[in-house]
């Protein structure tokens, strides 16, 4: 199951590599991982999907 997010550096939708579900300070779930092209951290609100 691939989680997609927006890479700000590549300016494109990418599949998040090594996605981990975390919680923000406010309690919102996010999926956080790396961009497969440039290695920048990519976050997606709403958790893993």
- Per-residue pLDDT, 11: 96
Closest by CA to 38, choosing from 19, 20, 17, is 17
pTM across the whole model: 0.81
Residue numbers of the domain that contains 40: 4-45
* 5-36 tens-digit pLDDT: 999 999 999 999 999 999 999 999 999 999 99
- Per-residue pLDDT, 1: 61
Domain count of the fold of the chain: 1
């Amino acid at each position: 199951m691939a989680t997609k997010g927006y890479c700000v550096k590549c300016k494109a939708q990418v599949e998040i590599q090594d996605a981990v579900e975390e919680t923000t300070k406010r309690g919102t779930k996010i999926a956080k991982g790396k961009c497969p092209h440039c290695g920048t951290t990519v976050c997606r609100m709403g958790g893993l999907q």
